[in-house]
Amino acid sequence: MNQNKKEPLFRITKRTDIPPHKSWIIRGVAIVIALLVCAIITTLLTKANPIEVYSSIITGAFGTTRKTWITLQNLSILLLISLALTPAFRMRFWNIGGEGQILMGGLATAACMKFLPGVVPNGLLILIMLLAGIIAGGIWGLIPGVLKAKWNTNETLSTLMMNYIATQIVAAFILYWSGKQSSGKIGVINPDDNLGWLPKIGGIAQLLPVIIAIIITIVSYIYYNYTKQGYEIAVVGESDRTAKYVGMNVKKVIIRTMFISGALCGLVGFLLVGGVNHTVTTTIAGGQGFTAVMVSWLAKFNPFAMIFSSFLIIFMGQGAGEIATAMGLDSSISDILTGIILFFVIACEFFISYKVTFKNNKKEEA
Amino acid sequence: MIDLVSFIPSAIQQGIPLLYGSTGEILTEKSGNLNLGIPGVMYVGAISGVIGSFLYENSVPRGEALNPLLAVLIPILCSLIGSLIMGLIFCLLTVTLRANQNVTGLAMTTFGIGFGNFFGSSLNKLVGNDIAAIEMSRTSSYFSAKLPFGDSLGWFGKIFLSYGFLAYAGVIIAIAIAIVIKKTRVGLHLRAVGESPQTADAAGISVTKFKYVSTCLGCMIAGLGGLYYVMDYMNGVWSNDAFGDRGWLAIALVIFTIWKTDIGILASFLFGGLYILHTQLPSGIEHKELVELYKMIPYVVTLVVLIITSMRNKKENQPPESLGLPYFREER
Amino acid sequence: MSNNIPAVELVNITKTFGRVHANTNVSMKIHKGEIVALLGENGSGKTTLMNMLSGIYYPDSGAIFIDGKEASIRSPKDAFSYKIGMVHQHFKLVDVLTATENIILGLEGKLNLKESEAKITEICEKYGFDVDPKKKIYDMTVSEKQTVEIVKVLYRGADILILDEPTAVLTPQETEKLFNVMRKMKEDNKALIIITHKLHEVEAISDRVAILRKGEYIADLVTKDTNAQEMTDMMVGHAVKLNIERVKPLSEPKTKLVVKNLTVVDSDGIKKVDDVNFEVKTGEILGIAGISGCGQKELLESIAGLQDTQSGSSVIYINDDGTEDELIGLNPYEISRKGVSLSFVPEDRLGMGLVANMDISDNMMLRSFRQGSTPFTDRKSPYKLAKKVVSVLDVATPSIETPVRKLSGGNVQKVLVGREISNAPTVLMTAYAVRGLDINSSYAIYDLINEQKKKNVAVIFVGEDLDVLLELCDRILVLCDGKVSGVVEDPTPEDKNTVGLLMTKVGGNNSESK
């Protein structure tokens, strides 16, 4: 009665060990394949020579000093958002509420910019704007943290809802402030006296976010690897039971970490409103709160690796935008290409975590 | 006062894309897959239908009549294929390759919205036409055709009979899915897969098959919501980002309806109503910002529902137990 | 017994996992209309053997005959086709579904809940089950869930039923109910196998008892012709001399920890620890013996501040100056802040005691990371400690930076024990400290524990190997169903049967002790 069951052709086993360089090679190969696929698609759509396409991507991102600075600024902002979400992710808390946290930070910053000039000197104003942005973003992150700690409310869904609540709050304030003009926009705040505008360091407006991004990257790295709180985050993320075993207050860690995550998003809101746009709109975050989730994940939540993953995304986006404009096509092609790269990199993680072995048809005797 | 006879039909028209989206997502989530790519899928469903209709309209010279059947079937088929491919990408990555569902879903949303906007605004350019705008008015007329006797029945006709066929199809699909989930063996097995894949696996149910089929079907249904929006509600006119955050609103609806597609029918009309409630405000009001706060209601209500269900911790009202988690049988 | 062809016959079944022999050449027969008890200690291979009948595992060698015909059982589905059904210890049920929906899960055909419910009611009436087909699993007690599992098996038409320690989760009343049902199934000419290690249950329910020890088949006996003494002898075997040293502490023992009226009730309302009282002295090793799941885990976790206890429970720590501290109500951090140096080596090493994905050095930090007044952690001391533990305890690891999940079981345990004894504990608790370890690692752990005892540490050693307990410990407290069933002072290997009997007798307080 020996039933000859079909043996699967291949067997998937979890890798116990993979040297770091090998896993980066796999990721690198995936990115190269993805770029090739992107090139083919772009060529098909634009009928341009793929080499030209890539050279125009490079000129799109770094063609002029100004373009380079814009690229660096965008890179810094995306990197900062990714860094902001990372504390939550390292705790296995899926904070996809970056958009909302940025918006609330930006809104608080804008409110200070609008109403405080004349009341306080400019230096103090900027400090208050910074604090207001951080606190507003922090509170927006704190709420889902408390919900998770108290009632185990699904954080992916709660942070998602918080995004849209924030969007509408911002929209309402914009209308309220724009008053009877009913343009639905508030325009640049303090255009004449530039009060509350963040300083141009060395005459370059884009330098400040770059510097802050560098600082936060280093501080993040130190925080995760050398501080007690960073250690607590790691333990809580790995195992609830171990955290309790050594007497950690898991709820406190969740709430505190979500405040930090939201506060850093609020900082980005502050930079976007005070330094980049000098106004607040509902689209200041521009979907980067979501993109940053992927950037952080691609980097395996490592702050330094995030420089590369955010660079990849920004570079492709900026460059593809350039091609599209040149060809008179819509710039959203960059989203398509970003999506394709992400698909490949997501897929390649499987081959880092698992080993696929093909096996011969061994018959087991009954 | 609000004129209900004209308000209800507009609320329903707003609600139909949400209904499709949430029905598809509920079906998907019942298998334990949290597909945050639904907003992208709905864009892809919409644009694929538009591309089909575009190619068909272009193949029939102006002046000649379209074949009504083809005018309807081609866009629907294209839409289904487009969303199916999105579903397959999601399943390939999360089920077969065990990738993180949140990241995959968000990548799909980025991709899908980009895909929709790119082709929506470049379609004419790509085939060498000069006109920039996409206007599929000829095929669209078949989608938005209303029931013949709708006008003659007064308020009843306006509220119940004044929609294109996809609106009715959406309601029927939602009811059908509710019945399948509640009353059939397939539905029972699907629920078991989403709640406890280990148990389902031990009972001999193919977890992988159920996840693939329900996620792909879910995507196809959601895609039709996009198709309805552009072909019926917008009369075949594509404009970038017009679909807006409706995809996320559909995900909110899933929570709001506590994972029940039949509740989703009325709830989506309610959300549709809330979405356009601001249009009913007196035109000369002082505070326009109220408009935006009205639009916030669906999300606030959803968040409150989410919090209450987690506070009450009643088992039936929770998300499927394994939602968002990959499943694979451990090697022995 | 009436029939000559056995319902199930196992012939020379062998199963190994890596280098562990779970079953070696096991042969046994089960007839229709008979209840066979499969008796053995933890790790004696009872469950593995039965898993081969239910299609979870496939034997390395040997043959299975069902109704006299050779059978190849490769999956639970195959097992059902041979009418074999097994009720596992861990229930496989979907919480939000009803009893009926769970019972019919995975079956084919059109869904007709009414018909299924009728069939379930019929089965229930036939055997005297008490189950509401419409009730959701999450509303059920453990006993009801178990009933659903048994009905599930019967619904699929099983004639051969295997119950894996079904009484472990039941109250005495529920156990009696289960036994009544089993007797009815026996009358219905079904073959039943019950895995257990409680002798009184063997006596109460079985016709025959088959005994396994360390994966080997020892004997099978007709229950009414044997007695508890004989079964215990066969189950635990003869005393084995291990030559574990019993060291003398440096100074006179003093009472260190007093446990009073400790009671723990789990979320299902079952008393896991029932009014336990004992003392531990400095410089002694208090052994805790008992069948696993009799409250050992909850007892240790209560002392360590990880378990909610019933009011009235008390754990008093006596400081060197004679002052007393109540530990109940404090969490582990609060306990350590009181100056109580309490170390705990939990049963679940990688899930609780250590962080699997962190390296040895980071795991050393778990207890000490709060030290220092700056927000920064001191990375150097844990690294030094890690190096010391690795070299002193001879931990085989590629480097200090290796995640502990990659180490072998023995080395993982050395890292954990090394950390726990590094902060000079006054009380050391270990749960199954040598489980899964090879001989050399085990002896290394015994030496470490003895070393602590010598330093006047009060040690609580929860173990499963009686030979080890008898040689290592100064006193053995035996737990049975959460209660203290007896205490053996200054044990010798000759006390093995006494302890074995205490482990299996409920309320063994009055039973024979020396």
pLDDT in tens, B146-193: 777 666 777 777 778 778 899 999 999 999 999 999 999 999 999 999
Output the pLDDT for position A75: 93
B contact test, residue of C102, C105, C137, C145 with most B CBs within 10 A: C105
Which stretch of A111-115, B16-20, C141-145 has the lowest confidence by average pLDDT?
C141-145
Show which of residues 210-249 on chain B sit within 8 Å of chain A, judged by CB atoms.
240, 245, 248-249
Q: Which of B199, B207, B313, B329 to mutate to test the interface with C (most CBs of C within 10 A)?
A: B199
Cβ-Cβ contacts under 8 Å between B and C: the total is 57
A256, A110: one domain: yes
Model confidence at C405: pLDDT above 90: no
Contact (CB<8Å) C136/B191: no
**CB proximity A300 to B under 8 Å:** no
pLDDT above 70 (res C222): yes
> Could you report the per-residue pLDDT of C331-374, keeping only the tens digit for each?
898 998 888 889 999 988 888 999 988 989 999 998 888 888 88
Distance from CA of A339 to the nearest CA of B (A): 4
When pLDDT is cut at 50, 70 and 90, the band that residue C513 belongs to is very low
A96 vs B: CB within 8 A: yes
Please tell me which residue, C290 or B156, carries the higher pLDDT value: C290
Q: What is the pTM of this model?
A: 0.86
Kindly report which listed range (B104-118, C142-156, C295-309, C497-511) carries the lowest average pLDDT score.
C497-511
Q: Chains with ≥3 Cβ pairs under 8 A against B?
A: A, C
Domain ranges within chain B, ordered by starting residue: 4-145+157-317
pLDDT confidence tier of residue C108, bands split at 50, 70 and 90: confident
Q: Evaluate whether residue A63 is within a structural domain.
A: no
Flag whether A6 is in a domain.
yes
d(CA C316, CA C305): 12
Whole-number average pLDDT of chain C: 86
Asked if A235's CB is within 8 angstroms of C348's CB, the reply is: no
Between A and B, how many CB-CB pairs are < 8 A? 171
Gap from A200 CA to chain C (nearest CA, Å):
33
Are A298 and A346 within one domain? no
Residue A361 has pLDDT above 50, yes or no: no
Question: Distance between CA C204 and CA A251 in Å, rounded?
Answer: 49
Spatial contact of A112 and A196, defined as CB atoms under 8 Å apart: yes
B55 to chain C, closest Cα gap in Å: 44
Per-residue pLDDT at C339 = 85
Q: Does residue A54 lie within any of the structural domains?
A: no
Question: What is the CATH topology of the domain spanning B4-145+157-317?
Answer: ABC transporter involved in vitamin B12 uptake, BtuC (1.10.3470)
- Residues in chain A within 8 Å Cβ distance of B303: 158, 161-162, 165
Give the confidence band of A210 by pLDDT, cuts at 50, 70, 90.
Answer: very high
CA distance C257 to chain B (A): 40
Domain of residue A161 covers 70-318
CA B185/CA C105 separation, integer angstroms:
8
pLDDT at C487 over 60: yes
Q: In this structure, what CATH number is given to the domain that contains residue A295?
A: 1.10.3470.10
Distance in angstroms (rounded) separating the CA atoms of residues A213 and A81: 9
Residues C191-220, mean pLDDT to the nearest whole number: 88
Whether residues A214 and A355 share a domain: the answer is no
Q: Which tokens sit at C43?
A: 């790790």
Report whether C17 contacts C2 (CB < 8 A). Answer: no
**Does residue A364 surpass a pLDDT of 60?**
no
pLDDT on residue A304: 93
In a domain, A94, yes or no: yes
pLDDT of C121 reads 92
State whether B106 and A349 contact (CB < 8 Å): no
Report yes or no on A353 lying in a domain: yes
Contact between A133 and A275 under an 8 Å Cβ cutoff? The reply is: no
Residue C19: pLDDT band by 50, 70, 90 thresholds?
Answer: low
Q: Which of C76, C77, C105 sits opposite B188 (nearest CB)?
A: C105
Q: Are residue A119 and residue A14 in the same domain, yes or no?
A: no
Domain count, chain A: 2
Distance from CA of B98 to the nearest CA of A (A): 7
By C-alpha distance, the chain B residue nearest A44 is B126
Could you report the per-residue pLDDT of A174-205, keeping only the tens digit for each? Answer: 888 877 655 667 778 887 787 888 888 777 87
Q: Does residue A61 form part of some domain?
A: no
DSSP A363: P
Is residue A229 located within the same domain as residue A347? no
State the pLDDT at residue C511.
Answer: 38
Q: Which chain B residues are closer than 8 Å to A174 by Cβ?
A: 289
Where in chain C are the domains? 8-236, 255-341+424-509, 354-423
Q: How far is A48 from chain B (nearest CA, A)?
A: 13
Architecture in CATH for domain C8-236: 3-Layer(aba) Sandwich (3.40)
- The pLDDT tens digits of the residues spanning B246-303 come to 898 899 899 889 899 999 999 999 999 888 877 776 666 666 667 778 888 888 988 9
Which residue would you say has higher pLDDT here, A356 or A181? A356
What was the pLDDT predicted at C93?
92
| Partners of residue C357 in chain A, C-beta under 8 Å | 238
Q: Which of C366, C368, C397, C416 is most worth mutating to test chain A (most A CB atoms within 10 A of its CB)?
A: C366
Least trusted range by pLDDT, from A16-20, A293-297, B19-23, C173-177: A16-20
CB contact under 8 A, C365 and A241: no
Of B89, B292, B310, nearest to A151 by CB-CB distance is B310
Shortest CB distance from C369 goes to which of A228, A244, A364? A228
> Nearest C-alpha of chain B: how many angstroms from A83?
16
Task: Give the CA distances from residue B170 to residues B72, B110, B268, C122, in Å, rounded to whole numbers and listed in that order.
Answer: 15, 26, 11, 42
Taking CA–CA distances from C110, the nearest residue in chain B reads B185
Backbone angles phi, psi at A44, to 5 degrees: -60, -40
Residues of chain C whose beta carbon is less than 8 angstroms from a beta carbon of chain B are 57, 76-77, 92-97, 101, 104-111, 136, 138
Question: What b/e sequence results for C454-471 when a residue is b if at least 16 CB atoms lie within 10 Å of its CB, and e otherwise?
Answer: ebbbbbbbbbbbbbbbbb
Nearest to C365 among A231, A238, A239 (CB): A231
For residue A129, pLDDT beyond 60: yes
Sheet order of strands, C314-318 included: C271-281, C255-265, C314-318, C324-326
User: What pLDDT is recorded for position A1?
Assistant: 36
Distance (Å, rounded) from C-alpha B188 to C-alpha B186? Answer: 5
Q: DSSP of C54-117, one letter per residue?
A: TTSS--SEEEEEETTEEE---SHHHHHHTTEEEE-SS----TTSBHHHHHTTT--S---HHHHH
Q: Say if B101 is an interface residue toward chain A (CB within 8 Å).
A: no
User: Cβ C57–B332 below 8 Å, yes or no?
Assistant: yes
**Cβ contact C58–A364 (<8 Å):** yes
Task: Please report the pLDDT score of residue C512 as a whole number.
Answer: 38
Instruction: Return the sign of the alpha-carbon dihedral for residues C1, C3, C4, C5.
Output: negative
The DSSP result for A239-306, as a single string, is -HHHHHHTT--HHHHHHHHHHHHHHHHHHHHHHIIIIIISS--TTSSTTHHHHHHHHHHHTTT-HHHH
The CATH number of C255-341+424-509, from 3.40.50.620, 3.40.50.300, 3.20.20.60, 3.40.50.720, is 3.40.50.300
Kindly determine whether residue A175 and residue B115, on different chains, have CB atoms separated by under 8 Å: no
Closest-approach residue (CA) in chain B for C101: B188
Region C12-37: mean pLDDT is 88
Chains linked to C by 3 or more Cβ pairs within 8 Å: A, B
Q: How far is the C-alpha of B252 from the C-alpha of B265, rounded, in Å?
A: 14
How many angstroms separate the CA atoms of C1 and B317, rounded? Answer: 52
In this structure, the answer to whether residues A31 and A135 fall within a common structural domain is no
User: Are A307 and A164 members of one domain?
Assistant: yes
CA neighbor of A264 nearest in space, from A131, A138, A145: A138
For residue A35, being part of any structural domain is answered with: yes
Q: Please tell me the predicted confidence (pLDDT) of residue A365.
A: 36
Whether residues A42 and A94 share a domain: the answer is no
**Interfacial A residues in 218-247 facing C (CB < 8 Å):** 226-232, 234-235, 238-239, 241-242, 244-247
